[in-house]
Amino acid sequence: MLKLFCFLQLDLKTLSVAIRFLRAKSPEQRAAVDLDTHCSEEYLEECIGPNTRRAILYQEYVKGISATGMQSNYGFEGQLYACWTHKMTRTKIELIRSAGFLVSVIHGRHDIIAQIYYARRLAEKLHPVARMIELHGGHLVSHERIEEVNQAILELIKASEVSINPNEWTNLPKNKSGWIGPRVTLIRINTEGGSNISIVLYVLSRLNIFLLYLFGLIVLAFEYG
């Protein structure tokens, strides 16, 4: 099995958003932090008539959150668990590559939830059937760059209809060898008898659990502090 542990980039913006997210107790507070999480700053500050897009979307977000209610602790814990334990096995990667269809990996450069690095890594692993498309946008890049996303999908459909050769479709260099890249560690486990995990990789896996525990303490501190 191939496990992927993603260690988030801890810059000031990401930390600020995380703290505001944990402290949000009202629809207004949650709407404000959700906007910064979902969209790029340039998109939010663009003027739409007399108002900025941020002001318009803020009212819509507040209305939506007020109607459905604040996210429960169970929902937040579920999101956290999914982010930290998500993995793509080698079998799944090979299954997609051998399925006979082309792939477009479309991602926003300013996504602070699922950073662009991991989209590139996924596209590299799907080489040669994948094309990497980076757009100027945040987590909801399909909302920010509607025309570009639609164009990318149309190109994928047309290429699939004419059965274009994957090597002509991909815009990626030949897949790189090696297991380790910046900000990500891949751990190979021999499940057919015996373990090949080195001491270093074992320590990293333990570190992942420790970070989960530490983050849980921070959540509790903000929740009950």
Closest CA to 109 of 136, 133, 131, 148: 136
Residue 195's pLDDT is what?
A: 46
The segment with the largest mean pLDDT, out of 8-12, 27-31, 96-100, is 27-31
* Amino acid letter, 133: I
- How large is the average pLDDT for residues 107-115? 87
The Cα–Cα gap between 41 and 144 comes to 11
For residue 195, give every residue at least 6 positions away whose Cβ sits within 8 Å of its Cβ, in sequence order, or none: 189
pLDDT per position as a tens digit, 121-158? 899 999 999 999 999 999 999 999 999 999 999 999 99
Residue 185's pLDDT is what?
A: 37
Residue 23's pLDDT is what?
A: 84
Q: Where are the domains of the chain?
A: 12-83, 88-169
* Amino acid letter, 95: L
* Amino acid letter, 192: E
Q: Per-residue pLDDT for 59 more than 60? A: yes
For residue 118, give every residue at least 6 positions away whose Cβ sits within 8 Å of its Cβ, in sequence order, or none: 6, 184
Whole-number percent of the chain with pLDDT over 90: 47
The Cα–Cα gap between 153 and 135 comes to 13
Residue 178's pLDDT is what?
A: 37
Closest CA to 168 of 159, 177, 157: 159
Q: Is residue 27 very low, low, confident or very high in pLDDT (cuts 50, 70, 90)?
A: very high
CATH 3.40.50 fits 88-169, yes or no: yes
pLDDT per position as a tens digit, 152-203? 999 999 999 999 999 999 999 875 543 333 333 333 334 344 444 456 555 6
Where is 187: in which H helix or E strand? strand 184-188
The Cα–Cα gap between 26 and 202 comes to 41
pTM, two decimals, is 0.71
Alpha-carbon torsion (36, 38, 40, 46), positive or negative: negative
